Structure 1
């Protein structure tokens, strides 16, 4: 999966300690509202319900490159991470001033800024309020606590995986049933395993649809014959087995979070796995997608004639 071009992010800590993340990435079902908020939660310890993710609002969000090429984690979240770095640095300066401690001794744990090795601390919301009331800030520091960052990746991400499909084919009808499907992927560091698994499941379903069901057919005059879902077959639960999926972790070296793209993995790995299983079962070198029952039946008859 490629990551594409740069991405932007802005992190705004409000006076009551809640946090807004404005991102140039855009969610269309990947769960960004959860994973992006988890990134903030892991860094600052603030509750996830205190973090709001703003995307797709051109009245608020500065220009971004959007979502494509499995780039939302590797690039979009990396931009957020860099903005969080800036927020963290300023927050620690404020906390050190309030606690009369050295900035290098400040750690952030469980929603509070603490002096390492002591019980001295200032809650996150209290630090945020101090940032805006500005009655007691380090000399020369501007009030407020919001930071912007851009991230331009040094390289693409390179996820890896192995997909294995087992099929049974009825030689009388050409009908193909998927008996077992196993997927093992390496997506680097994973923020939310459940969301990643869901994306893999959805990708495999789409790939199986491409391999077995989905085809655009035209008549001699060029009229599309599969122009509705009455004729263009989408994969359904009954067409699919219960997938067996797993992940391993080799952190990506080209972004600060060690994340690799995962959104397209299932859709890329599953069609060749399904088609290879079919050609292996029939004993042929290739078969055109979609391998519909009529296509498979024809291939079986051609094979038996030889």
Structure 2
């Protein structure tokens, strides 16, 4: 049988004012701080906590791109309330669209201060300065040889020997980014399954997924999140079930009894993507963490029911276990 599923998700929750109007107890903003040290190394503080999604890599790439510094010279700190001022955490596929955007805004403030300091040091007008993202320096427009390197400006900001009037020493900026709107990632997934007539066992023969999660910062991380989500969604469709006996005792309380998806239950999952930038954040990204989970469950369920359609079977409650499918096939065949 073949099953199709398409979905669209409102992710990276909406502006805090909308949250309040809907009865939310807090806002949906996220904090991001960037501290450039005198040595030119960078410390990033984010309120979006990582627990396996790859935030360290993604946020490091964002800041490296914004400031044109070596990613190896960037340190990411999250989850430490002793140093991170505030944060809303990780949920709703929001970390990059909201937390990453906060870092973009902080980086823009850093660049702006560095531009003014470079202009002062080069005795040029602010309007005549250019940030050269290819070389990581600030130079006078039309005179690339009249430039100050990133590290030079960072050091000058802390020695404070020659600062523009009114500029404070140091190089650290914060942002509390409140999203302008949800982002709307979308997916189209196709699954092909086979069913063993003797046992009711489902075999996933092919699986194709196309997702639009906006601009992609790290393709490997995005693909990993999509495939991980697909595995979770397939687990819901075929295997995972919380069961109780007649006395209300949980009988699937351990991994010996609760069936989790395993690698040997899957073919090689083929993924592709469309990149339609979101207009609602400076990175043009959309949520990705939940997309595989949303589409895969109905894709697999539809494929199983398509395979059973010739027998007149129209519905089986999930999970679509071998025992349930075998029983449905036997009932459709007059108990044989």
Task: Place the TM-score, normalised by the shorter chain, in its bin.
Answer: over 0.9
The equivalent residue for 1:19 is 42
Tell me how far apart the structure 2 counterparts of residues 46 and 231 of structure 1 sit (CA, whole Å). Answer: 50
Tell me how far apart the structure 2 counterparts of residues 103 and 6 of structure 1 sit (CA, whole Å). Answer: 32
Tell me how far apart the structure 1 counterparts of residues 220 and 142 of structure 2 sit (CA, whole Å). Answer: 36
Cα deviation, 1:81-117, whole Å, max 9, x if unaligned, reads: 1111111110111111112223232213233222333
Give me the TM-score of the superposition, normalised by structure 2: 0.89
The higher-RCO structure (CA 8 Å, 6+ apart) is 2
Q: Which secondary structure does the structure 2 equivalent of 1:225 belong to?
A: coil
The equivalent residue for 1:259 is 285
Tell me how far apart the structure 2 counterparts of residues 176 and 3 of structure 1 sit (CA, whole Å). Answer: 35
Tell me how far apart the structure 2 counterparts of residues 50 and 114 of structure 1 sit (CA, whole Å). Answer: 22
Tell me how far apart the structure 1 counterparts of residues 81 and 329 of structure 2 sit (CA, whole Å). Answer: 55
Matches within 5 A, 1:27-106: 27-104=50-127, 105-106=129-130
Aligned-pair distance for 1:140?
1.3
Q: How many residues align?
A: 306
The correspondence for 1:2, drawn from 11, 15, 30, is 11
Tell me how far apart the structure 2 counterparts of residues 34 and 99 of structure 1 sit (CA, whole Å). Answer: 35
Q: Which secondary structure does the structure 1 equivalent of 2:193 belong to?
A: strand
Tell me how far apart the structure 2 counterparts of residues 42 and 99 of structure 1 sit (CA, whole Å). Answer: 25
Tell me how far apart the structure 1 counterparts of residues 259 and 315 of structure 2 sit (CA, whole Å). Answer: 22
4+ residue segments displaced more than 3 Å:
none
Tell me how far apart the structure 2 counterparts of residues 20 and 78 of structure 1 sit (CA, whole Å). Answer: 16
Q: Which secondary structure does the structure 2 equivalent of 1:29 belong to?
A: coil
The equivalent residue for 1:189 is 215
- Structure 2 regions of 5+ residues with no counterpart? 1-9, 14-27
> Would the aligned equivalents of 1:44 and 1:108 in 2 still touch at CA under 8 Å?
no
Aligned-pair distance for 1:221?
0.6
Aligned residues: CA RMSD: 1.2
Tell me how far apart the structure 2 counterparts of residues 96 and 79 of structure 1 sit (CA, whole Å). Answer: 26
The equivalent residue for 2:187 is 161
The correspondence for 2:159, drawn from 133, 158, 168, is 133
